Amino acid sequence: MDRRTFVKTAITHLGALAVGAGLSSATFGNQEKPQNGNSALTSQEQAAPEGTLREYSLTAEPTQFEIPSRGIFEKWLYNGKFPGPEIRAREGERLRLTVKNSLPEGTTIHWHGIPLHNSMDGVPDITQPAISPGGNFVYEFDAAPSGSFLYHSHFGLQPERGLVGPLIVEERKSHIQYDREYTLALSDFLAEAPRPLGSGMRPGGGAMVAPPYIMLLINGRPPEAPAVFTVKNGERVRLRLINLSGATIYRFAIGGHPFIVTHTDGRPVEPLRVDALHLAPGERYDVLVEAKNPGAWPIAASSDNELPPARAVLRYLDSNETAPREGALPEGLSGGQLLNLENLRGMDLPEMRKPNRTFNFTLAGGEMKPGGMMSSMGTMSPAEMMTQQWTMNGQAYPSAEPLEIHQGEVVRIRLDNQSAMPHPMHLHGHFFRVGNVYKDTTIVWTHSKRVELDFIANNPGSWLFHCHNLYHMEGGMMRLVRYLPA
């Protein structure tokens, strides 16, 4: 007999429920409502004991989506929303997510950062067959550990269609106190269907060397119609920064407010005050803002492409100002103290033994190779059939050797980036130690920048390790990490 408490939540494809309002429990989801850190946790702990089952339904389907002030776009979305609905559970609860595929092709969902059972990892052909059009799949796993995560399709470039969303596991005991919280999901946005880089699909011909994004968004809103996050003077506000982008690395800052980094990729760190941080695809940072500078301030995330920075507004309810000065950007976008990952100290680092096994990889690529688009693009010239290739030790997935490991080992991966692009490298199913923090995605910067990751092989199965720039991933910068039988 299953004695779990059941909390059933139906988020329908009609999209009637707002982001974050998907849970039927009244204590969850209303992000506008001030929450009082630990005291709120206590009452919720009683309301929802560990093992409570939280059910969600997600339907992936073609949707006409309106971006305020920009028009209507043909996207593929979860429950008609962009980003997808915020999935929320409390640490130790059980999540059951029923996914319906109403797309014209197969799909899966990957729960990025959660060290779940391999069969629930959502990688087509590796952990499950793709969910066929018209089909369903039920994902079920423990909501643990706490933290800010994301979920997305893991079927080719599908996330670029809009199949991405935030996933929050609330901690039962937090090392920080705050009065309210907001989720800030950063996205780069394509007006059209995604194509591999290098393919001659640019309007007017010529090889496409960067994805043709038309805007950078925070919570699905363009810079000229930004989301507004309200605060009261004196409050402490927790912001969950989640980069859902396909290829964009941001520099994030808030006008008039330094902030305190409290978590990286969901893992708690000793609080560290900075003015700005970099956030790569798949990465998350939780930060605390002390609201003691009344007014209306720009929140912004800039990239090194030509697009205007993504924007939102931090607005004090007790101030007469309702919008930042036209065009104002946070000073932190170009100056001030930028977070250096090496200065962060994780609070839940496991004891790491010396590695039993080390893999060395050189990251390279960007050159063109004959592409795989011939069949559908029969009329293209040979030059137009080229796609960009990205490699690890010269090999491009799937023509690449797996990393074979044994359960119980400490595994070290050394990365040396010899390419001209930064690579946010992500390991499925595990956290790794980088510097003095625990993360699941970390940037390897350009031009011989080296990074060392250590992880404990404690979650058997077949897992992906790849660059989270989706075009680099699709271009081959990916490996399988495979546990061998003992």
Q: Which residues bind Cu ion (CB under 5 A)?
A: 423, 467, 469, 472
Place of tokens 């989706």: 470
Min dist. Cβ of residue 446 to ligand C2O (A): 21
- Separation CA 455–CA 442 (nearest Å): 13
Binding mask 265-304 for ligand C2O (x = CB under 6 A): -----------------x----------------------
- Separation CA 481–CA 463 (nearest Å): 5
Find which of ligand C2O, Cu ion, none residue 426 binds, CB within 5 to 8 Å per kind: ligand C2O
- Separation CA 172–CA 43 (nearest Å): 10
One-letter amino acid of 77: L
* Contact criterion met (CB below 8 Å) for 208 and 195: yes
Binding mask 115-154 for ligand C2O (x = CB under 6 A): -------------------------------------x-x
3-class DSSP state of 453: strand
For ligand C2O, which is the closer residue by CB, 412 or 428? 428
Find which of Cu ion, ligand C2O, none residue 467 binds, CB within 5 to 8 Å per kind: Cu ion
Rounded to whole angstroms, the maximal C-alpha distance in the chain is 66
Min dist. Cβ of residue 108 to ligand C2O (A): 10
Adjacent-strand bridge partners of 434: 437
Q: Is 479 in the site for ligand C2O (CB under 6 A)?
A: no
Among residues 267, 428, 430, 433, the one that binds ligand C2O under rule CB under 6 A: 428
Please choose, from the candidates 287, 303, 288, 285, the residue with its C-alpha nearest in 3D space to the C-alpha of residue 440: 285
For ligand C2O, which is the closer residue by CB, 251 or 466? 466
Q: Is 90 in the site for ligand C2O (CB under 6 A)?
A: no
- Separation CA 115–CA 221 (nearest Å): 31
Q: Is 315 in the site for ligand C2O (CB under 6 A)?
A: no
Q: Is 251 in the site for ligand C2O (CB under 6 A)?
A: no
- Separation CA 426–CA 339 (nearest Å): 20
Q: Is 81 in the site for ligand C2O (CB under 6 A)?
A: no
Contact set for ligand C2O, span 183-222 (CB under 6 A): none
Q: Which helix (H) or strand (E) holds 48?
A: none
Q: Which helix (H) or strand (E) holds 74?
A: strand 71-78
Find which of Cu ion, ligand C2O, none residue 423 binds, CB within 5 to 8 Å per kind: Cu ion
For Cu ion, which is the closer residue by CB, 459 or 469? 469
Place of tokens 């939280």: 54
Min dist. Cβ of residue 246 to Cu ion (A): 11
Residue nearest to ligand C2O (CB): 112
Find which of Cu ion, ligand C2O, none residue 110 binds, CB within 5 to 8 Å per kind: ligand C2O
User: Which of the ranges 38-46, 199-207, 402-410, 464-472 carries the binding residues for ligand C2O, by CB under 6 A?
Assistant: 464-472
Please choose, from the candidates 310, 195, 199, the residue with its C-alpha nearest in 3D space to the C-alpha of residue 248: 310
- Separation CA 240–CA 3 (nearest Å): 33
Exposed/middle/buried for residue 471 (C-beta within 10 Å: 0-12, 13-18, 19+) = buried
User: Which of the ranges 98-106, 225-233, 367-375, 463-471 carries the binding residues for ligand C2O, by CB under 6 A?
Assistant: 463-471
- Separation CA 285–CA 243 (nearest Å): 9
Binding site for ligand C2O (CB under 6 A): 110, 112, 152, 154, 282, 426, 428, 464, 466, 468
